[in-house]
Structure formats: structure tokens, C-alpha cells
């Protein structure tokens, strides 16, 4: 029984130490959140002539999201494989966007519903996985459900409407991701004081 108590104390001390280590990097979530918000403002200002630029920015958004998920996979205490899978998926989407940005815009417009569905499912899963660690886990759940609804709505549109929808919803996606990361930054910052 004594060994069980000491093992539990060691586990608790390890979790507290891990929390402090992660808490020191709270500013990374804040910086990426601010970057996402800036990206959303840039995307929402573009018109039809900026299709190539939007393809590149969307590629950067996917690469950044993928890198974030891989970082979380490296430090997560559990379910690392889940973070890594979605990180890999986001990076693959980003690489595809960089290969041909002009065509990426058209391809994204055609597959916009599927991309929103992937992001929405991931945000929903992430909210439930982090439910015990985050007080505002429901914010991620709400964002995930909203993205899933947008996915099904977008699939019913014609191509020209999808192209303009891509401009608007890529900006909204970046904005939601940015706000979620900023909120997460301050939650992670609390771990530093534990």
C-alpha cells in the first residue's frame, strides 16, 4: 500500500511538473492565435483577383495548424497518435495548397465542404478529449459543430458561390481558430503557476 501511495505521489508530481513545463510556453498559443486572427482579417479583405494569394495563405494556415497539432502530440500525456494523425492531415492539406495556389483555390472551392468537415470533426473530438483539462472546452465543441454545419451547407452551393464562400469562410475559420488559441493560451498560462 505504501508503494501505491508513493507511486501516486510521483505521478502527481510528474503531472504538476509537466503542467509547469507546458505553462511556460503559453505565449506560443497566444502568438499563433494572434497570427490566425490577422490571417482572418487579410483573407476577408481579398477579392476575386487575389485567388493565388488566398491559396497560399490557406496553405500556410493548414501548415501552421498541422505544426501545432504535432507539437501537442509531442507533449501530450495521452492520445499522442490522435494529435499526430490530424497534424499530418493538416500538413498534407497545406502542401497540396502550395503545389499550385491558383488551382488550389478552385480545388478548395470544390472540396470546401469536405475540408470544413475534417476541421469540424477534429475540433469536436479535441473538445471532448480536453474536456477534463479545460474549463472552456465547450468553446471548441461549439466551433466544431458550427464547422460541421458549415460543411454541409457549403456542399449544397454552386461553384461560383463556393468560391466566394471560400473567401468568407476561410477567414471565419482562421478567426475561430485564433480566438480558440488565444483562450487556450491563458488556460495554459494557469498551469505555470501550479
All residues at 6 or more sequence positions from 11 whose CB lies less than 8 Å from its CB, including other chains: none
What is the rounded distance in angstroms from the CA atom of residue 175 to the CA atom of residue 150? 15
What is the rounded distance in angstroms from the CA atom of residue 58 to the CA atom of residue 133? 30
pTM of the predicted protein model: 0.54
Query: Over the stretch 25-40, which tens digit does the pLDDT of each residue have?
Result: 788 889 989 988 887 8
What is the rounded distance in angstroms from the CA atom of residue 59 to the CA atom of residue 91? 8
Residue, of 162 and 146, whose pLDDT is higher = 146
Confidence of residue 2 (pLDDT cuts 50, 70, 90): low
Residue, of 7 and 44, whose pLDDT is higher = 44
Confidence of residue 1 (pLDDT cuts 50, 70, 90): low
Sign of the four-CA dihedral 81, 85, 91, 95: positive
Q: What per-residue confidence (pLDDT) applies to 61?
A: 80
Length of the chain: 194
Using CB atoms within 10 Å of the CB of residue 52, give its burial: 0 to 12 exposed, 13 to 18 middle, 19+ buried: middle
Q: What per-residue confidence (pLDDT) applies to 78?
A: 82
What is the rounded distance in angstroms from the CA atom of residue 44 to the CA atom of residue 26? 28
Query: Over the stretch 74-126, which tens digit does the pLDDT of each residue have?
Result: 888 888 898 899 999 999 989 988 887 877 777 777 777 888 888 899 999 98
What is the rounded distance in angstroms from the CA atom of residue 119 to the CA atom of residue 90? 9
Residue, of 49 and 130, whose pLDDT is higher = 130
Confidence of residue 137 (pLDDT cuts 50, 70, 90): confident
Q: Is the pLDDT of residue 4 over 70?
A: no
Confidence of residue 67 (pLDDT cuts 50, 70, 90): very high
Indicate the average pLDDT of the chain: 80
Q: What per-residue confidence (pLDDT) applies to 133?
A: 81
Q: What per-residue confidence (pLDDT) applies to 99?
A: 87
* Contact between 147 and 119 (Cβ < 8 Å): yes
All residues at 6 or more sequence positions from 96 whose CB lies less than 8 Å from its CB, including other chains: 59, 104, 107
What is the rounded distance in angstroms from the CA atom of residue 61 to the CA atom of residue 165? 17
What are the start-end ranges of the H helices in the chain? 2-23, 26-45, 51-75, 80-99, 101-129, 137-155, 159-192
Amino acid at each position: 500500500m505504501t508503494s501505491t501511495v508513493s507511486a501516486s505521489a510521483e505521478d502527481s508530481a510528474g503531472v504538476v511538473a509537466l503542467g509547469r513545463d507546458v505553462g511556460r510556453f503559453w505565449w506560443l498559443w497566444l502568438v499563433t492565435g494572434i497570427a490566425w486572427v490577422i490571417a482572418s482579417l487579410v483573407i476577408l479583405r481579398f477579392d476575386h483577383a487575389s485567388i493565388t494569394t488566398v491559396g497560399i495563405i490557406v496553405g500556410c494556415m493548414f501548415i501552421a495548424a498541422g505544426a501545432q497539432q504535432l507539437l501537442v502530440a509531442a507533449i501530450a500525456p495521452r492520445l499522442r497518435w490522435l494529435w499526430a494523425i490530424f497534424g499530418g492531415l493538416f500538413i498534407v492539406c497545406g502542401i497540396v495548397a502550395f503545389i499550385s495556389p491558383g488551382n488550389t483555390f478552385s480545388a478548395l472551392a470544390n472540396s470546401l465542404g469536405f475540408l470544413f468537415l475534417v476541421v469540424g470533426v477534429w475540433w469536436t473530438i479535441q473538445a471532448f478529449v480536453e474536456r477534463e483539462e479545460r474549463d472552456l472546452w465547450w468553446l471548441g465543441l461549439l466551433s466544431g459543430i458550427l464547422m460541421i454545419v458549415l460543411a454541409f451547407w457549403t456542399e449544397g452551393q454552386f461553384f461560383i458561390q463556393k468560391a466566394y464562400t471560400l473567401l468568407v469562410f476561410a477567414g471565419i475559420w482562421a478567426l475561430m481558430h485564433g480566438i480558440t488559441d488565444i483562450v487556450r493560451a491563458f488556460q495554459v498560462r494557469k498551469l505555470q503557476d501550479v
